[in-house]
Amino acid sequence: MASQNYKAWSVVTASTTAFTVCFMVWMMFAVIGIPIKKTLDLNETQFGILVALPVLTGSLIRLPLGMWTDRFGGRIVFFILMLSTVIPIWLISYGTEFWHYLVTGLFVGVAGGSFTVGIAYCARWFPKNRQGLAMGIFGVGNTGAAVTKLVAPTIVVAYGWAMVPKVYAVLMLLMAVAFWLFSYTDEDHASAHSSVTMKEQLQALRDPKVWRYSQYYSIVFGGYVALSLWMTKYYISEYGFDIQLAALLAAGFSIPGGVLRAIGGYFSDKYGAHFITWWVLWIALVCLFFLSYPQTDLVIQTVTGPKTFHIGLNATVFTVIMFTMGVAFAIGKASVFKYISDDYPHNIGVISGIVGLAGGMGGFILPIMFGALVDLTGVRSSAFMLMFGIVWVSLMWMYFTEVRPMEVAESRKHPEPTHYT
């Protein structure tokens, strides 16, 4: 009979692999949406809606999925979730009208809810001091966004974009079967929460900390999802690259955003969720400051006549900064969930569902806003300007609710000595 330790790591391995496939499917329109946009002659806002709509379903379903995971256990919920997406994925290949892709995208988006199921499922197999690492390893499945950018363009070039959903549907079916074979059920995980009512679970919405963590996650995860969807097209529009090169460079942001999440979990266990999240947001703010500056031709009148200077990021510098921000987001995604495992050890499913919903909604709303801003201003870097403002708000919120109270508490412990003259 398999030991508890073996079962725990088998669950993490199976869940991480399954989540990778689910994330590949969730990010599929980031690649196939480009030829669809060209075929249907969509504007930037319509393209934003197309790529973001699966994220909407994957976000809204996270809260009920978190509740069901707490009540019934992660294994059965994860398995049914994967099976439910196979037919909608396949049907995408037969779409001919814009609304066809929107409807099938809504159903395919259910795959994005797998995060809430898996994060709670994996965490409960480990003691509290190792949950950050376990959740970080599971979060490596975010690299599915990068895998799609590496695999899907090759399929598009070789066989046409319609072959991508067919391949992904078969892959999802095989993954569901493999997950069931290599995962385990622990009845204690579900039975411990089976008596909790939905009303009691939803009481978490009254906790201001949950809303704060949701705001953080809307940046580190929502921003990651939004940019993963947007970057391939950004490289094509801004630098004139073809779809394969654009997707490859876009993967430079997506890969660290997934792979390094496990490191974020380790650091969060060691240094604490607050310390890591604080510095993650500062690094993101600096990166977004440089990314926000649009390509500019500056004309200066000199004594010898006008001289023109070009100011802007070339593709290499842009990719390096995006990679840096991808690393920061990866670590931040893990540190936010370390907050949750520390503060809500017996209610991880519901809290992660709420926070995950907020993060997913960020991933849904931001691409649409990116497209609308480009249509409105004509400035492609306006997407980064928007994110800069959101990160600044998050930092201010963290300062006044976490950093400042800690400084006050510390000053009360160690008051300044009084000097008499």
Query: Could you identify the residue written with the tokens 């622990």?
Result: 186
Provide the residue ranges of all domains of the chain, joining segments of one domain with +.
4-191+205-408
CB 108 within 8 A of CB 89: yes
Query: Could you identify the residue written with the tokens 């520390």?
Result: 342
φ/ψ of residue 298, rounded to 5: -105, 125
Fold classification of 4-191+205-408 (topology level):
Growth Hormone; Chain: A; (1.20.1250)
Q: At what angle do helices 98-108 and 74-91 cross, to 10 degrees?
A: 170
Which residues have C-beta within 8 Å of that of residue 287, sequence separation ≥ 6? 321, 322, 324, 325, 328
pLDDT at 190: 52
Amino acid type, 141:
G
CB 229 within 8 A of CB 363: yes
Q: Can you say whether residue 313 is alpha, beta or left, with left for phi > 0 and alpha for psi between -120 and 50 degrees?
A: beta
Q: Nearest-CA neighbor of 172 among 12, 16, 32, 19? A: 19
Beta-bridge partners for 302: 305
pLDDT at 94: 93
CB 119 within 8 A of CB 352: yes
- Residues 337, 339, 343, 345, Cα dihedral to 10°: 30
- Cα separation of 105 and 382, whole Å? 26
Q: Nearest-CA neighbor of 324 among 268, 370, 280? A: 280
φ/ψ of residue 95, rounded to 5: -70, 145
pLDDT at 10: 92
CB 287 within 8 A of CB 321: yes
pLDDT at 261: 75
pLDDT per position as a tens digit, 134-171 = 877 887 887 888 899 889 999 999 999 999 999 999 99
pLDDT at 251: 86
- Cα separation of 93 and 155, whole Å? 13
In the chain, which residues have pLDDT < 50?
none
pLDDT at 263: 82
pLDDT at 58: 85
